[in-house]
Structure 1
Amino acid sequence: MKTLGFPRMHKEEGEIRAFLPDFFEKLEINGAKIYIEEGYGSKMGYTKEDYLSVNKNIEFVSKEESYKQDIIIVLRSPEFDELELIPDGKILVSMLHYPTRAKRIKVLKRKNIKAVSLDSIRGDFMQRLVFNAKGTSLHGMEIAFSELEKIKSDFYSNTRGPLEVSIIGMGMVGLQAGKAASKFALPEIAKKIKEAKAKGVLINMLPRNITSDREEMIKILKRTDILVDASTRDNPYEYIVDNELLGNLKKEAIILDLTADPYLVDEEGIQVKAIEGIPTGTLDKYVIYKDDKEYYDIPDTVNTSNRRTVVSCDAWPGVKPRECMELYAVQMLPLITKLLEKEFEQMSLESPYYFERAIYRATLDYFFKYDKVKTE
C-alpha cells in the first residue's frame, strides 16, 4: 500500500490553506497510511485531534518526513529546497505550472520525480478538472471594484458614461471575470449604483486579433477603467501590453492581474508578465499602489515608467481559503484514489479509465510530447 504525505505550505503569512478533516475522513476508505506535517491545518483553526479523530491512519511527522512518502500532495508547488527533500522516483501532486517554470522542470527531471501538475489535469475535452475559476475571478474583481470606487471621483455619478472593463483572455477565468464585472462584483456596490441611477458596465473581451492590433488597443485603453489580465500565453518571454502601450490606460484605472505570472530569469532570458511593468501580489498584499516597494522589486530590465494601482495575487483562491479547499477536495479525491489504486506508469491516453487519462495529461511525459511550449 502506497503512503501519502501532506506537507504544509511554507509561503507568506497569509497562506493558511490546508485540506479540511472531512477530506481525510473520505480518504480512510483507501486504507493508505497518511503522514501529515506537524501544524497542518492550525492556521485554519484545526487541531491534531480534529484530523486523528476522522482517520486512524494519520500520523503527524516532521516536514522532512512528510516529503519522503510515495505520493506527496501539496497545493502550491514546493520551494526548490523542499523539492530536494523528495526522494527520487516519488510522485508529487501540486500546482507545478510547467509552461512558465523551466527551472522547476529541470529539478523534477533530475530527481526523476513523477510529477502530476494540478493545473494541467484535464478531461477528454481538455477542460481543467482541478480549478477554481469562479473563485479566482470573483475575488479579484471584488477587490478591483473596491479600489476603483475609492479612486474614481464620479464612480456614483449619474452623468458619467458606462464603466469599461477590458479583459485579456477568453478562457474560463476571463469569462468568469466578465460575469462578475457585469454585476459590479460586490452586491453593495451594485445597490449603490442602482440607487444613484448611474450607468452600468461595458465589458470588452479582447481576443488575440485585438490585442495584437496596437491602434485598436490604444483606443480601448483610453476608455478602460479596469484592465484585466486573464491571458494564457504561448510565449512567456513576450508582453501582450508593453509599458509604452500601457501609458494610454486611464490614470485612475485599476489593473487586475488574475494570471499573476512572475518575472523569472533563465537561460533563455527573462520570463515576463503579460502586462509590462506591473508587480505580482501575494496573499499578504494584493493591492499595490504606484509608489509601493513592490514596483521597485521588479527586474531593472523591465520598464515600469507607466504605473497604475495593481490588484494581483499569486494564489487568488487562497483569499477565501475554506471555500477553496472544500472545492479542491471534491475535485482531487477521485484523482488521489486512482493514484493509490494504480501504478503511475499505467496512466496513459490509451487507458479505458477517464481519470487515468486525465492524470496522464498532467505528467511531464505528456507535456514534452504534446504541449507546444518551449521549455529548454
Structure 2
Amino acid sequence: MITLGFPRMHKEENEKRDFLPDFFQRLKVEKGEFYLEKGYGSKMGISEEEYLKANENIKFVSKEECYKQKIVVVLRSPEFDEIDIMEDGSTLVSMLHYPTRPTRVERLKSKNIFGVSMDSLRNDFSERIVVNYNGTSGNGIEMAFEELSKSMKDFYSKDREVINVTIMGMGMVGLYAARAAGKYGNKDLNNKMAGFGTKGIKVTMLPRTITGDKEEIIKELKKADILVDATTRDDASKFIIENELIAHLKPHAIILDLTADPYLVDTNPIGVKAIEGIPTGTLDKPVIYPEDEIYNTIPKEVKTHNRRTVVGCNAWPGIKPEECMYLYGMQLFPIVQQLIRLDRNDFSLENDDFFNRAIYRATIEYFEKHEK
C-alpha cells in the first residue's frame, strides 16, 4: 500500500486548517495508509476518533514521520527544514507558488521531489481547480470594510459620498473582490450601513493599462477609500505602486492586500510586493497600522515612508477554516486519488484523463517548460 503523510501547519497560532474526516472517508476505497500528525484537526475541535471512524487506515504519528511518507499532502508549503526530511523521489502536494519561489523550486529539484503545486492545478481552459476565491476575496473585503468603518469618521453618515473601492487586477480574485464589495451597498442584504441610509459603494477595476500609467493611477488613488491589490505580476522584483504614490491616498484609506506576495531577500534582485512598503499580514496579525513594529522587518532597500492601514493575510481562506477545508477536500480528492493510483511518469498533457493533465500542469517540469 502506498503511504501518505498529512503534517499539520505550525506557521501561526491561528492556523487551524487540516483536512476534514470526510476527505479521508472518500479515500478509504484507495489502497493507501494515511499518516496524520498527532493533534491533526484538534484546532477545529475534531478528535482522533472521528478520523479513525472515517478511515481505519489512519495512523497518528510525529511530524517527522509524516514527512517521510511516499506522498506528503499539506496545504501551505513546508519550510526548507521540513522538505529536507522528505525522502528523495517522494511527492509533495502543496501550495508551492513556483513563479515567486525560485529557491523553493531548486530545493525540491535537488531532492528529486515530484512537486504538485495546488495553486498550479488547472483545467484545459487554464482555470484553477483547487481554489477558494470567495475565501480570499470575501474575507479580505469584509475585514477591510471593518477597518474602514473605524478610520473613516463619516462612514455611517447619510451625508457622506459613495465609498470608492479601487481594485488593481482583473482576474478571478479581483472579480470576486468586486462582487464582495458591491454587497455593502445593497440594502437588501441587511448590512450594517443599510440602516443608516448611507450612499452605496462604487467599485472601479483597473487593468494594466491604467496601473502602468503614473498620471492615471494617481487620479485613481486620490479617489480610493479602499485600495485592493489583486494583481498578478510577470516580474516579482518590480513594484506596481511605488511608495511615493501611497501619499496620494486619503488619510483614512485602507490598503487591502489579497495577493500576500512576500518580500524575498534570497533572490537577486529581491522579490517585492506589488505595493511598495506594505507589510505582509498573517492569520495572527491581519491588520497592520502605520506605526506597527512589523515595518522594521521589511528589507531596508524598500521604501516605507508613506503608510496607511494595511489589511492582509498570507492565508486568507484560513479565516474560516472548516468552510475552507471542506471545499479544498472536495477539490483535491480526485487529484490525490490519481497520485495514489499512478506513477509520477504517467502524467502528461497527452493523457486522456482530465485530472491527469491538470496534475502535469502543476509540476515543476511543466512550469519550467511552459511558464517560466
Whole-Å Cα distance in 1 between the matches of residues 92 and 163 of structure 2? Answer: 44
Structure 2's unaligned 5+ residue stretches are none
Tell me by how many angstroms 1:154 deviates: 1.0
Unaligned residue ranges in structure 1 (runs of 5+): none
Pair 237,32 (structure 1): closer, same or farther in 2 beyond 3 Å: same
Instruction: Spell out the pairing of 1:255-266 with structure 2 (5 A cutoff).
Output: 255-266=255-266
Is this contact kept in 2: 1:184–1:190, CA < 8 A? no
After superposition, the C-alpha distances for 1:245-277 in whole angstroms (9 at most, x for unaligned) are 111111110000000011001342210000000
Measured in 2, the distance between the counterparts of 1:185 and 1:141 equals 13
CA contact (8 A) 1:145 1:185 kept: no
Q: What CA deviation, in whole Å up to 9, does each residue of 1:5-63 have, x standing for no partner? A: 11111211010110111111111011311111111111111222111122111111111
Residue of structure 2 equivalent to 1:12: 12
Work out the percentage of aligned pairs sharing the same amino acid: 58
Q: Does 1:153 align with 2:142?
A: no
In 1: Cα distance, 2:197 partner to 2:64 partner: 59
The answer to whether the 8 A contact 1:25-1:54 is kept is yes
Match of 2:128 in 1: 128
Where does 1:1-376 land on structure 2 (aligned, <5 Å)? 1-184=1-184, 191-371=191-371, 373=372
8 Å contact from structure 1 (residues 31, 57) kept in 2: no
For residues 306 and 131 of structure 1, the distance between their equivalents in structure 2, rounded to whole angstroms, comes to 33
- What do the CA deviations read for 1:67-115 (whole angstroms, capped 9, x no partner)? 1111100000001100000011000000000010011111001011000
Letter in 2 for 1:51: Y
One-letter identity of the residue aligned with 1:121? L
- Separation of aligned partners in 1, 2:40 and 2:215: 52
Which amino acid is 2:154 matched to?
D
Residue 190 (structure 1) shift: 5.7
Contact 1:76 1:96 in 2 (8 A): yes
**2:253–2:309 Cα contact (<8 Å) kept:** yes
Q: Deviations over 1:301-356 (max 9, x none)?
A: 11001000000000000000000000000000011001111111111000000000
8 Å contact from structure 2 (residues 185, 201) kept in 1: no
| Conserved? CA contact 1:138–1:185, under 8 Å | no
Residues in 2 aligned to 1:141 and 1:241: alpha-carbon distance in whole angstroms: 20
Instruction: Return the offset for 1:185.
Output: 8.5
In the alignment, the residues of structure 2 paired with residue 155 and residue 50 of structure 1 have an alpha-carbon distance, to the nearest angstrom, of 46
Instruction: Call closer, same or farther: CA 1:185–1:354 in 2, change over 3 Å.
Output: farther
Q: Is the 8 A contact 1:164 1:202 kept in 2?
A: yes
Equivalent-residue separation in structure 1 for 2:193 and 2:270 (angstroms): 43
RMSD: 1.4
Deviation string, structure 1 residues 206-254 (Cα, Å, up to 9, x no partner): 0000001111111110110000001110000000000011111111100
Query: Aligned partners of 2:213, 2:29: CA distance in 1, in Å?
Result: 55
Secondary structure of the residue aligned to 1:264 is coil
SS class of match (1:271): coil
TM-superposed CA distance for 1:189, in Å, is 9.1
Pairwise CA distance, 1:193 = 2.6
